[in-house]
Structure 1
Amino acid sequence: MATIPKHMKAVVFNGPYDITTEDRPTPRVKEPTDVLLKVKYSGLCGTDLHTYRGHINSAVKGQIIGHEFVGTIVEKGTLLTDSDFEIGDEVISTFTTQCGECWYCLHKCSGSCTKTNTFGKPGLDGGQAEYVLVPNAKNTIIKKPQNTDWKDDSVYVLMADIFVTGYYGVQKIINYVKSDPSMSNVDYSDVRILQLGVGPVGLCALRILTYLGFKNVVCVDSVHTRLQEAKQFGASQIINYEETPKYLEDLIKQQNDGVGFDVCLEVVGATSSLRTAYDALRRNGFLCSLGMAHDDLPFNGLDCYIKNVNLSFGRCHVWSYFKEALEVFEVLKTEFAHFIDYKATIDDSSNAFDLFDSHKVNKVVFEFK
C-alpha cells in the first residue's frame, strides 16, 4: 500500500468569489464501507459556480469543494472484499453518495436516497483535493473501464456528473415521447426540441440526443464557442440570444405552424430561461429542466393548468443511470477528447474558478501528479 501523507492540498471555499488552496489533514477510512482515493483528476462543474457566486448556500466557509473526480483506491474498509475493490483499482466516483438499500435507491431514484449527500457539501468534503474519503463505496464508485487504447483518464471526469446528467435528461424526454398520447407514432427525428443552454452539461445532453436519433434540436446560448460546439454536435440551429433578442417569437412561428416546441430542455436554471422554455412550448408539451433553479418559478399553477404543461425538475439519479450512461459514453468519448480545454494544478484554483466563471474556458480539470 502506498504511503498516505498526514496532510494534503485541497481547494477550499471561504465565501463568494473567495477560493483558496490550503493544507488540510488527509482523511482516513472510518467506516467499514469507506474507501480512500488518491485523486488523479477532479473537475470544476457549473453547479460549483452557484456556490462560488453566492447564489445558494450549498457550502460552508472552510469547506473542501468539488464533486467530479476519478482516482485510485489507497485504503478500504473491512467490509469491502477484493471482489468489490482492491487497493490500486482506478475508479470513477458519482457526484453523490447513496446507500443502495432504501426505497429510492431500489426504484431507480438514487438522487433522492434517504442517506444521500453530495461531495463538497456540508458533512461531506469534496474531491478537489489530493485525497478524498468516499462513504458507501459499493454504491458510489465504479471501476474505470480497462481500455488499452485510451490514455487520458481525465475524460472520465465527465462521467462523475455532467454526462450522466445529460443522459438523465434525455431519458426523461424519451419517456415523455413514448408515453404521451400527443406524441404517439412520432419518430425521434420529428420531435421538435428547444434546448436552452449549451454549457458542459448541455453539450453532453445534445450529443446524446443526436446519437439516439433526435435531429431537430434548436440550441440557444450567449457564448459563441459553445454554440459552435453545439453545431458540431448536431444542433439543427444555433441562436445567440444576445445578438438576436427577439428570436423566440419567430422561432415559435416556425414550429408546426406556430404551435410551438414539443420539448424544451432547460439546462440553465435561471428565471429568464425557465420563462422562455414555458413560452416556447406548445400546449401539452414537456419542460425538462436540468439546471439548478434557485429562485421562484416564473409561471404559476394556473399557467401550467391552462397550458397542460408537463414539468420535470430535479438533480440526476446518477447511480441509478450510471452503468447505462457509461455504455453510451464509451461509444462517444473520443468526441469529447478536446472537451477539457484547461488542466490546472491545485495551486491554480483561484485563477481556474475565475476563468471558468467568465466563460474563458469550457471545462476545467485539476490534475494531480
Structure 2
Amino acid sequence: MKAMAYRGPYRIRLEEKNFPRIEHPNDAIVRVQRAAICGSDLHLYHGLMPDTRVGHTFGHEFIGVVHEIGPSVENIAPGDRVMVPFNIFCGSCYFCSRGLYSNCHNVNPNATAVGGIYGYSHTCGGYDGGQAEFVRVPFADVGPVPIPDWLDDDDAVMLTDALPTGYFGAQLGNIAEGDTVIVFGAGPVGLFAAKSAWLMGAGRVLVVDHLDFRLQKAATFAHAETFNFSEYGDIVVEMKKATGYLGADVVIDAVGAEADGNLLMHVTSAKLKLQGGSPIALNWAIDSVRKGGTVSVMGAYGPMFSAVKFGDAMNKGVTINANQCPVKRQWPRLLSHIKEGYFSPRDIVTHHIPLEEIAEGYHMFSSKLDDCIKPVIVFGND
C-alpha cells in the first residue's frame, strides 16, 4: 500500500509499505477515505518530538471503511463507514472506566502519562497512523464508531481530533456565564475552542495569533475579537489593557510546542531540538489570566526544560487544567451540535490534497502558504 513515511526533520515522502495485518483478535483494518494534517503533526515534521523514528507513518485524524476485522470484534463490520478517535484506548482500565480515554493504562508501554495515539512517535506507542491507504485499528470494539448517514466526510474527519480538542479546551476552562476568554492560537483547534467558548456562556472571546488570514477566520468563523501579536511590543500588556488591567477569566493555550514570540522570549526560553517545544504561549497564558482565573492547556507539548512561570501561576492562584482530549467522550454532544447547526466543522477546511502530493501538503501547511488553515488528505480509493 501507499503511505506517508518520515525520513527526518522536514523530510517525508510517499512510500510503498507492507499492508497492515490483524495482530490481535480485537483489531480491525480500515481503508482510509479521508485523513488530515494536524498542527501537532508539524511538531513531528519539525523534529520536536522525541523518538520519532524513520519510516513512521503520521496521521491521527482519519475516517474510512472497515476492510477486515479480528475474530472478537462485534461492534463494527466490514463495509461500515467509521470515524476513528485519535486516542487508542482499551475501554476497561481504571482511566478508561472514568472516561479518561487519552490516559489509557494499557496501550502505551513507553509513557506513564499519555495513552496511545495513532502516528505520533514511539513516545505515544509507536502505532502507524492514517496518512496511508490502510491502517490497523486496535481495540476496534471501543474506538471507531459508524458515521451517521447525514454527516459529511469533512465534518467527520474534524470530529476525530480538531473539533473535540477545541471543545475540550473550552471545557477545561470552566467558563462561567459572562466570562472573558482569551485563546492563544488561531489554528483549527484554537478556532474551535473560540467557537465553543460562546456555547459555554462566554461574554467576550479574544483570539491571538500572528497570521492575518487565520485571524480573519477567527473573526468570521468564531466571531472573536482578534489581535496580531506581532503588531505589539508586548501582547500580554495589550491583553491586560483589553481586560481592564485585570486579565481574562479564562485563557486557552491552543498553540503548544511551536509558539512564536519576541526575541527576548526566544533567548530565555529557546526552542531546543532536545525538548518538546517552547513554553512561550503557556507563559503568555499565565501572564494574561486574572488572579484566581483558569488556564486551559490542550496544545501538544513534549518534555520541556526551559522555564514555565509556575511561580507566577501559584502566586496568582491560577488553576491550570490540561490533558489530551478524550475524543469519544465528546462525540454525542458534538454530533448534536452539528445536526442542530451550531457547528459546521468543514468550514475550516481550506485544502484537499491527494495522498500522492502529501509532501507538498506538509510543506504548504508548515510554511503557512496559500492561506492554509486545515488540509485534508483525499484518497484515490474513495
- Give the TM-score of the pair, scaled to structure 1: 0.88
Q: How does 1:145-160 map to 2 (within 5 A)?
A: 145-147=148-150, 152-160=152-160
Mapped to 1, the partners of 2:76 and 2:39 lie a distance apart of 30
**Cα pair 2:27 2:138 within 8 Å, conserved:** yes
1:137 lines up with 2:140 in the alignment: yes
2: CA distance, partners of 1:95 / 1:210: 25
**Distance in 1 (alpha carbons) for counterparts of 2:53 and 2:60:** 15
Q: Which of 164-173 and 298-307 deviates more?
A: 298-307
CA RMSD between the two structures: 1.8
Question: 2:293 corresponds to which residue?
Answer: 285
Matched residue type, 1:153: D
Q: How far has the Cα of 1:146 moved from its partner?
A: 1.5
Relative distance call for 1:93 and 1:307 in structure 2 (3 A) is same
Kindly report which structure 2 residues correspond to 1:18-97, keeping only aligned pairs within 5 A, or say none.
18-81=11-74, 84-97=75-88
1:350 is aligned, of 321, 341, 359, to 359
- SS across alignment from 1:205: helix
CA contact (8 A) 2:179 2:249 kept: yes
Q: What are the equivalent positions in structure 2 for 1:104-253 lying under 5 Å apart? A: 104-116=95-107, 117-120=116-119, 121-122=121-122, 123-147=126-150, 152-174=152-174, 177=175, 188=177, 190-253=178-241
Q: Which whole-Å deviations, capped at 9, do the CAs of 1:209-242 have from their partners, x for residues lacking one?
A: 2234323011100111111111113444100111
Summarize deviations over 1:96-149 as a string: whole Å, max 9, x none. Answer: 2100000100112111101231111333111000001100012210110111xx
**Correspondences of 1:310-325 after superposition (within 5 Å):** 310-325=319-334
Question: Between the two proteins, what is the percent identity of the paired residues?
Answer: 29
Q: Distance in 1 between matches of 2:14 and 2:208?
A: 35
Deviation, structure 1 residue 165: 0.6
2:251 equivalent among 258, 264, 285: 264
Structure 2 CA distance, aligned partners of 1:296 and 1:322?
Answer: 35
Displacement, 1:333? Answer: 7.6
* Aligned partner letter, 2:37: L
SS in structure 2 at match of 1:320:
helix
Gaps in structure 1 of 5+ consecutive residues: 1-7, 178-186
- Give the Cα separation in 2 of the matches to 1:329 and 1:166: 14
* Contact preservation (8 Å) 1:97, 1:139: no
Confirm or deny that 1:364 pairs with 2:375.
yes
1:335 paired with 2:340, answer no
Q: Against the structure 1 CA distance between its residues 278 and 298, is the aligned structure 2 distance closer, same or farther, given a 3 Å change threshold?
A: farther
In the superposition, relative to structure 1, how do residues 215 and 296 fare at CA in structure 2: closer, same or farther (>3 Å)? Answer: farther
Q: What's the CA shift string for 1:59-101, capped at 9, x where partnerless?
A: 21111111110000111111123xx112110000011210000
TM-score computed with the length of structure 2 as normaliser:
0.85
- Show structure 1 runs of 4+ deviating over 6 A: none
8 Å CA contact 1:222–1:242 kept in 2: the answer is yes
Partners in 1 of 2:218 and 2:230 — Cα distance?
17
Matched residue, 2:267: none
Query: Equivalent residue for 1:3?
Result: none
Separation of aligned partners in 1, 2:67 and 2:292 = 52
Which 10-residue stretch deviates more, 66-75 or 333-342? 333-342
1:334–1:108 Cα change, 3 Å: closer
Aligned position for 1:182: none
User: Could you list the per-position Cα deviations for residues 259-290 of structure 1 after superposition, in whole angstroms to 9, with x for gaps in the alignment?
Assistant: 21111111112322111111111111111111
Contact 2:183 2:193 (C-alpha < 8 Å) held by counterparts: no
Aligned to 2:274: none
- The residue type equivalent to 1:223 in the other structure is L
> Structure 2 matches for 1:284-303, cutoff 5 A?
284-294=292-302, 295-296=304-305, 298-303=307-312
Deviation at 1:253, TM superposition (A): 3.1
Letter in 2 for 1:127: G
Residue identity matched to 1:196: F
Q: In the aligned structure 2, how far is the partner of 1:332 from the partner of 1:131?
A: 32
- Residues 139, 319 of structure 1: 8 Å contact kept: no
1:101 and 2:100 matched: no
Larger Rg: 1
Shift of residue 334, structure 1, vs aligned partner: 6.5
- The structure-2 alpha-carbon separation of the partners of 1:236 and 1:62, relative to structure 1 and needing over 3 Å to count, comes to closer
Q: Pick which of 54-63 and 354-363 moved more.
A: 54-63
Q: Which blocks of at least 5 consecutive residues in structure 2 are unaligned?
A: 108-115, 260-278
Q: Distance in 2 between matches of 1:326 and 1:15?
A: 38
Q: CA deviation at 1:302?
A: 3.0
Contact kept, 8 Å, 1:155 with 1:333, in 2: the verdict is no
